[in-house]
A and B are shown apart, each in its own frame.
Chain A
């Protein structure tokens, strides 16, 4: 007892105690979080107000009588559901194809040998430097030539070319011991089988991370779908919503209702997969 109390009085005790710096950092963290949430809450708040209340001069905080009118009229106008449908198709296609094509390429570069392999890999790595934005003009010409303007494939295919994903996956595959596939090969598995039943299951966390980020990127991509679609019925949510401000005029409750509906799907996805997202950024970002 006496020996235990002596060091405890000279040094700060080990178990968590709310010292001033600790409390201050928690309070600071919460204040920052509130600041970051306010724009989202303000959008939600506005969307629940009756239209006249949104443009009242001294701003009001909570709606006097919350109403879902704005949501009803936004959904009744119909386009939002169509855009949601388009976004889903495009994002699912982009994510699936990116994963399949990148996994195969990463395996090829990590585990097989063929003439010119190093040169090709170098070329693809150089592709990481190419900002998609510099390609919009020639790419649009190409899509016009291929007849892919205003089609899902026109939106999807250029987004599937993600050299950085090949790079990240190849590095990950390099770290997987060859013992597993040697064992599978002894059992008679082909290389094709090895990819799907050895490499893919062993790299699940990184594939989930790559998948989630590809999906978010595809869902939110603005510039390319904006350029390659002119028909409103083919637009994705980000592109379709760009025209909302003009068509709704100054009806802010409706504009905010469409913003909330447009942002909600990914907020839900993120809330569900937060653990994977946080870890995935670490895996892909720090090591890659």
Chain B
């Protein structure tokens, strides 16, 4: 995302959210959610047509990104412990899950309690979904088959 466009969106948030709402943390999270939502569209959806909507209420800031590129491919590896969860990535530091709830795919993650990070282990090199999942209070994906639209929605509670 071009820096000036990003700063413009952060300025809108700053103007419309009450000062008491933990502004520093909100802007930090918003900056990286916005960056990764658009990076994801360019890298994976293979499309230049992306729209981004920002919704601000007294209770939340919501980012909705829609593109008309390739649908997000869900992995098919089921978690042994949580049968309804699919594992997107698993490494020494995090396991990133997807969980279907009706038409929506929710992302959440678990921090793995490795006693220490052994650098000989396979370290992850893909962090986009992880960043949004950890920065947002809720993050989900929806694919509209009729319009071939991918929508990612990330919400920060105020």
A and B form one complex: no
A interface residues (Cβ-Cβ under 8 A, vs B): none
